[in-house]
Amino acid sequence: MATGINRKAISLDANIVIVGCGISGISAAHKLIKSGFHNVRILEATSRRGGRVKTGRFGDNVVEIGANWIHGPSEENPVFCLARQYGLLDPEALTPENQAIDIGGEPPWIPNVFTSSGQRLPLEELVPAKEMFDTLLDECSEFATKGGEPKASVGEFIRSELKQRAEEEWKDVDAKTRSMRLCVISSIFKIQCCINGTHSLDEVGLGAFGLYKTLPGLDCTFPRGYEGLIENLMSELPSGLVTYNQPVQCVSWNSTDDRDKPVMVECADGERIAADHVIVTVPLGYLKKHHSTLFSPPLPLHKLHSIQRLGFGTNNKIFVEFDSPWWDADCEVIQFVWDDEDEIADQVPDLRTFWVKKLFGFTILKPTERYGHVLCGWIAGHESEYMETLTEQEVANSIAQLVRRFTGNPTLTPRRILRSQWFHDPWTCGSYSFPGRLCSAQDLENMMEPLPSKGSQAQPLQVLFAGEATHPCFYSTVHGAVLTGWREADRLISHYSSSSPSIPKSNL
């Protein structure tokens, strides 16, 4: 009878350490504090909060170095609901029409398409290639539920099917047109590498590809910067909750020592913090690189194998400002098509010489009245990682040569550029997660499983895991990160508010 009372009393005093002050860790802390826990502490390795939500300055403009959009801004999306609550969105993003549009994860942007021979490609020439690719991509999504995938990766499946279908459906098309359509598909492959955060679609598992779910709503941005969301959430937390510049060296769990707390968090500066529970929210890229030293005892094998099977790649941005536009006023995305890529390439043969070929094009920062003539280039994979090692001037020179070649205008020169460098950031080691080859829904279940594993006699919920890579269907998104922070907070709240030790299964 007294058990419930004791558990509730303990809950307010339970020592909870959160590793990482990204939006997942902040969301977990938010929910725990609101539920009455008062011994909550966030340890952040860097001097800033927000993690991969990072807003920067580009001249007079606010630009997103990290997370860019609210994907699917509708009632089911917690990021949209929070942004609306804090008054951070433009009025058009709040309209019922905007929330009701279901774009299936692909915004209906108006493109300008340029070829490497300096020509504008009429949009009608784009349509057959795009329709064929979209059909194949939809088919890739079906294997997650029906199984029986014929290839290991999305790239291999699309390439094999494409060859056959192009021969059948385009048999009456002249060789030059057919070649150009295949070059367009190579360009779309590069776009998909950016969307999936992967080096190549050959690294994206076919069987798990369809696990990702989209939400309705036309993707929107934060006019004053994504970090406004972080600032509002942080303003509602007690001051002093976060210790900055405090990297965690090791999380020692399942202690058999005599100490009363089962977990010891050891920091790089020598501080040791005893805890009842630790919520680890570090990016998957960091986990892949440091899991062997970060946990003692080591992670269980099934969890480790899932960390290895899940993919974590790099998708970088290159902001470029021009004196005047060389694109149409209604254009929203510029796409580059190389006319020597009819073999369907999504990676380049020589990084040093051809890295810039992986940049599929630019999105245009709108409205023009706010941003001027600013483009955001997108580049993924090893080419993107190599780009990070170049000087800003070298990147600017490559971009200048690229736009001159594709537009046929030899005078185009960027005023300035700014690029992200997520791969060489030691605390992220890349951008975001994707399901790798041989990956399955079970791997995502394993990612979110707390330690010790079920069946252990030790104190439960010693180490919990949150972050975008631990969400079963919204991985790679900010809303996925928020939901996982809430999920782990709810796990602890449920643990202490229930007299039963069993944890209700989350439906997130």
Of 309, 286, 290, 320, nearest to 431 (Cα)?
286
**So what's the pLDDT on residue 425?**
98
**So what's the pLDDT on residue 30?**
97
**So what's the pLDDT on residue 147?**
85
pLDDT tops 60 at residue 20: yes
Mean pLDDT of 144-162: 94
pLDDT tops 50 at residue 469: yes
Q: What percent of the chain has pLDDT over 70?
A: 95
Q: Regarding predicted confidence, which is higher, 157 or 453?
A: 157
**So what's the pLDDT on residue 39?**
96
Query: What is the DSSP code (8-state) at residue 326?
Result: S
Give yes or no for a contact between 35 and 496, defined as CB atoms under 8 angstroms apart. Answer: no
As a whole number of angstroms, the distance between CA 39 and CA 212 comes to 35
The one-letter amino acid code at 37 reads F
Mean pLDDT of 80-85: 98
**So what's the pLDDT on residue 1?**
37
Give pLDDT tens digits for 277-291.
999 999 999 999 999
**So what's the pLDDT on residue 508?**
45
pLDDT tops 70 at residue 122: yes
Mean pLDDT of 43-71: 97
Of 279, 317, 253, 269, nearest to 22 (Cα)?
279
Q: Backbone phi, then psi, for 423, in 5-degree steps? A: -70, -40
Provide the 10 A C-beta neighbour count for residue 501.
11
Give yes or no for a contact between 430 and 422, defined as CB atoms under 8 angstroms apart. Answer: yes
pLDDT tops 60 at residue 308: yes
Mean pLDDT of 177-198: 96
pLDDT tops 90 at residue 260: no
Measured CA angle at 79 (ends 468, 478), to 5 deg: 20
Give yes or no for a contact between 378 and 336, defined as CB atoms under 8 angstroms apart. Answer: no
Q: What string of DSSP letters covers 270-333?
A: S-EEEESEEEE---HHHHHHHHHHHEESPPPHHHHHHHHHSEEE-EEEEEEE-SS-SS-TT--E
By the 10 Å C-beta count (0-12 exposed, 13-18 middle, 19+ buried), 394 is classed as exposed
- Could you tell me the pLDDT band of residue 393, with boundaries at 50, 70 and 90? very high
As a whole number of angstroms, the distance between CA 407 and CA 88 comes to 37
**So what's the pLDDT on residue 258?**
58
Structure tokens at 62: 């606010």
- Could you tell me the pLDDT band of residue 45, with boundaries at 50, 70 and 90? very high
Between the alpha carbon of residue 404 and those of residues 264, 337, 341, 391, 400, the distances in Å are 57, 14, 19, 20, 6
Indicate the SS3 state at residue 252: strand
Mean pLDDT value across the chain: 93
Query: What is the DSSP code (8-state) at residue 94?
Result: G
As a whole number of angstroms, the distance between CA 343 and CA 347 comes to 11
Provide the 10 A C-beta neighbour count for residue 146.
9
pLDDT tops 60 at residue 501: no
Between the alpha carbon of residue 190 and those of residues 199, 356, 380, 381, 483, the distances in Å are 9, 12, 8, 9, 29
Give pLDDT tens digits for 448-457.
999 998 878 8
